[in-house]
Amino acid sequence: MRILNLEFLQHAGADLPTEVVEHLEKTRPAPTPPAHRRILKGRRDNIHDVVDFGRAGDISPETICRELIRDSRLSLPPKRRLLENPAILRALPVKLMTQLEILVLAFQESGVYNIHRARFTGARLFRNQTSRNNCVWIQVGGENMYGVLRGCLPAKLIALFKIPSGFMQQDTVYRLAGVQFMSLVDSRRPSDVHGLVTVQLRDVTRELTIVDMGTIIGLAHLIPETERRWLVNSRIDLHRFNEIYYDHKGALYNKINWGSDVA
């Protein structure tokens, strides 16, 4: 709408102040995607290896190493996998970041992208106020999984980082995120009472799950019910509304197969 409003006003000959035009130009969606759809920014100082990373996030190095090995086995071909030696992994160089920019296709557009900025500051303050640790959507399966969430699950962001990938390929960068996955509550469809999907952190939720940054598809807007339970705000924008309430043929969901919860 910002693009349409600005173009309409300019076409109509409106005399807009320079600062207003500059602001609208800066905040309009990107017309074309850059070479990288996800851009890391804001490197944390004094974080050099896995031990520093664990200390900053209050996560044991053993947990981080275990997750790095698991993700390396699942995601990388054998020649590029990390060495499964705890002593080597603990000393693995790490760059801890604070922001991830994600390009998300604008609603009903083919070449216009909005930028979602996912931030993780840990215990540090964001702009001298509270800490900022966003929730994100992660693509974890096919569209027949997790009902109306279509193979996606929301997760709490607890780390953004880069490490070298492979045995000798130190120029290859492995871009990762540490998250805590949420799960659907009760059913795989919106509530009959308020029409929203409920998600939660279970008591047995893993302390850390490492995922490839390419699986993060956007910010998740959640409404807290308790400290470990949220409502998915499916009305934050038209894109998310259509993803949850409409199928890909444009028909409202009604009596359909809601799929499986098993990843």
14 located within any domain: no
User: Are the C-beta atoms of 177 and 155 separated by less than 8 Å?
Assistant: no
**Chain Cα centroid distance, residue 56:** 20
203 located within any domain: yes
13 located within any domain: no
Separation CA 150–CA 218 (nearest Å):
14
Please give the model's pTM, rounded to 2 decimal places: 0.75
Separation CA 210–CA 149 (nearest Å):
21
29 located within any domain: no
Nearest to 158 by CA among 141, 136, 173, 174: 136
152 located within any domain: yes
160 located within any domain: yes
Nearest to 177 by CA among 190, 164, 195, 161: 161
Whole domain around residue 109: which residue ranges? 34-245
Separation CA 111–CA 30 (nearest Å):
9
- For 154, phi and psi rounded to 5 degrees? -80, 150
20 located within any domain: no
Q: How many domains does the chain have?
A: 1
Q: Strands 152-164 and 95-105: what pairing?
A: antiparallel
pLDDT of residue 176: 94
Low-confidence ranges of the chain (pLDDT < 50): 1-5, 8, 33, 35, 167-168, 254-263
95 located within any domain: yes
Q: Which residue has the tokens 């949220």?
A: 230
pLDDT of residue 10: 55
154 forms bridges with which residues in the sheet? 137
